[in-house]
Structure 1
Amino acid sequence: MTAIEGPFWRVIAVFRVASLVYATVLLLRAGGYAHPATGWLVIGFMALWTVATIFAYSDREFHGWPLLMADMLVTLGCLLATPLVQGAYRVGSLPVTGTWMGGAVLAWGVYGGRRVGAAAALIVSLADLWLHGVRGMRFETLPINGTVLLFLAGVLVGHVAKLARQAEARLQRAIEIEVAGRERERIARDIHDSVLQVLALVQRRGQEIGGEAAELGRLAGEQEAALRELVRLRPEPPAAGTADLRTLLQVYGSASVTVSVPATPLTLPAATAGEMAAAVGAALDNVTRHCGPHAPAWVFAESDGGAVIVTVRDEGPGIPEGRLEEAAATGRLGVAQSIRGRIADLGGTVTVLSAPGEGTEIEMSVPVLLASH
């Protein structure tokens, strides 16, 4: 039983109880019919089966065709006991079960869908029609309306239950895809950062060895000593508590990188501050890669109402239009994941302002209230 099916079984349980009460009222109003003892025996058995099905259908272990077949057999048995209770037929009277016989039809529909619900309605309807037919009824007095209602109940409830299960499955699949996507993004960021470190090491060793190794180092990412230092100094995100973002940003300061922070602390949850500092490091990595190891860059941090804003600016060649989308499509995830992905996971936004020959400005904003949770 899926979570979405629970309400259906509870509604069927309510229907069985209400129908049992209705059948009891019919028995009382008829004075017990022709055979009161047999009538109360049937009502008692219906009550016991009602209690049994309420518990059985609420337990996933009992779900299946054995229970459904038993439910149908009990329903047919009580329905076909009507002549033993009522004796001579009176036009317009209901069977001793009243509407209680619809419980099995609804159960079949919820379990198997509209076709199974229709099959259950057919079985019960044929039994009901046969019951009245063998008692000398004419066709015009047969309970056709009841048959139509049974079919409508079985088909409609079965169809709605099937749609509900499909919607639940799609929702679960969407949740799984979202979780998997977030995990892929996290892994992509970690891999991206690790690869930067490896490429920086390859470049350094290539320069030391010289010759073809130097060319290999250049092709490994055009990393130089400044980039290696930035990667080495990048702080690991603290695991718990709070942190002052200013402290994490100041380690990026160097002869070519100017870090400007306010006089008052920029207090954030430690994990949030660590991720934001890592995003700044990724932005500075891009400055080193695309503008050169000694290219000047500026980091500005401030608190603006309910948000903490950090801006990384350089005076490099700028980013041509469409270059970021092209880089993401080819698997270069520096901006897409290490910057935008990190900030998006924090509930923030990233704005990139750039034009060829006019440098690049990356503004990262994280809501303080969201970050505090």
Structure 2
Amino acid sequence: MTDVATAPGSLQTPLWRAIAVYRIAALIYAAALIVTNISFYLRPMFAWPVLAVMAAWTVFTTYAYADAARRRPPLLIADLVLTMAVMASSVLIVGREALTLGKPTIAVAWHVAPVIACAVGGGRRAGIAAALAMGAVDIVVRAHYDQAATTGAVLMLLAAIAVGYLVRIAEVSQARLQRAIELEAATRERERLARDIHDSVLQVLALVKRRGAGLDGEAGELARLAGEQEVALRALVTNPSRQPDSTVDLLSLLMPFESTTVSVAGPASAVQLPGGTAREIAAAVSAALDNVTRHCDPQTRAFVLVEDEPAEVTVSVRDEGCGITPSRLAEAEAQGRLGIAQSIKGRIAALGGKVTIASSSSSGTEIEMVVPRPRPMG
């Protein structure tokens, strides 16, 4: 069974309750027929112990199947085997002659319960296998192979197929419901973050932009940058679920980073990626280059290399700076400075990729970002 099937609140839970109700009703029906037909039995004294076993097993399975952790193949197989044994005991108790004349077996309709349980617990294939096995035992016990004898086995097989299909639909519905709940929770969290950002960061950026407007030098440059970041951040928080647009050449987004200290190299042809994927990679590269600017000498050289392969795109950002120690990365993340943890690793991980960082004091730092190409639909 899948995790969806065993999860708390699974849509399969009502089916297991229905099996328990059916088994109890079938037990009552079997007891009534035993009382009615016991005078025709070959060995009637054995009917009562078998009925007691059926009653005890009904109670046991009712509680056992109520716990999702116990709905496993060992219990399903034990249920099937014990029910087959009860069916086979009909030859000893009812007698071959009475069974040939059409008298019901000891189990009557009680033997259908484990077949349905296998269909619910293991899907259509398990249900079909259980129905074929139980149907074969039923036909052999009855010892006549006419249409009337096979009808019950066929109906049991059809029930297993129908229930297995219903279970598959329930699992898909459960998975979609879980996904919808997760998306709703994520949306609420984004809305909360958007409110917090609006009440704090955006207002500070707007204030810096207004106070620095018209100033010269670094103060004016800071005001201009604050204004640009305010616009970008406001667009992000007001439209967090923006869908990727048509394909974009990744190199066209990376070439603007080229300067006297930054070199960008890549294939001669365009590196086409979905717009959202390309922008996220470019943002990660920007964060990596920003780390070089902030933590290294202003004249430190940096190199951006793009490798385009059929299954993935690799972007490497290498600098000739002083390097980054592992303890420094952990310390920065603990202090809330999440440039590499979120701006780089977080972005690439969200695209299904991975980030590798190699650094030393003698050769600088190289950040390698590998992003798989999205598979074509259809």
TM-score scaled by length of structure 2: 0.55
1:43 has 2:26 as partner: no
- Paired AA for residue 160 in structure 1: L
Partner of 1:34: 42
Larger Rg: 1
**How many Å apart are 1:111 and its aligned residue?**
0.7
Structure 1: gaps spanning 5 or more residues: 224-288, 290-326, 338-373
**How many Å apart are 1:77 and its aligned residue?**
0.6
Partner of 2:139: 129
CA contact (8 A) 2:119 2:163 kept: yes
1:67 has 2:40 as partner: no
CA contact (8 A) 2:119 2:125 kept: yes
- Structure-to-structure mapping, 1:1-373, within 5 angstroms: 1-2=6-7, 3=9, 4-32=11-39, 33-90=41-98, 91-133=101-143, 137=144, 139-140=145-146, 143-200=149-206, 202-203=208-209, 206=212, 210-221=216-227, 332-333=235-236
Deviations 1:181-231 (A, max 9, x none): 1211221332244332332454467469732431431342289xxxxxxxx
Distance 1:64 1:123 in 2: 19
Distance 1:126 1:165 in 2: 30
Partner of 1:341: none
- Paired AA for residue 85 in structure 1: I
Query: Could you say what secondary structure the match of 1:107 adopts?
Result: helix
When the two structures are aligned, how many residues end up with a matched partner?
A: 230
Distance 1:179 1:79 in 2: 52
Distance 1:128 1:102 in 2: 11
- Paired AA for residue 122 in structure 1: L
CA contact (8 A) 1:192 1:333 kept: no
Structure 2: gaps spanning 5 or more residues: 1-5, 241-378
CA contact (8 A) 2:194 2:237 kept: no
Partner of 2:328: none
Distance 1:11 1:158 in 2: 14
Distance 1:207 1:175 in 2: 45
Query: Could you say what secondary structure the match of 1:332 adopts?
Result: helix
- Paired AA for residue 156 in structure 2: L
Q: Could you say what the CA RMSD is over the residues aligned between the two structures, in angstroms? A: 2.8
Distance 1:165 1:222 in 2: 47
Query: Could you say what secondary structure the match of 2:109 adopts?
Result: helix
Distance 1:174 1:104 in 2: 34
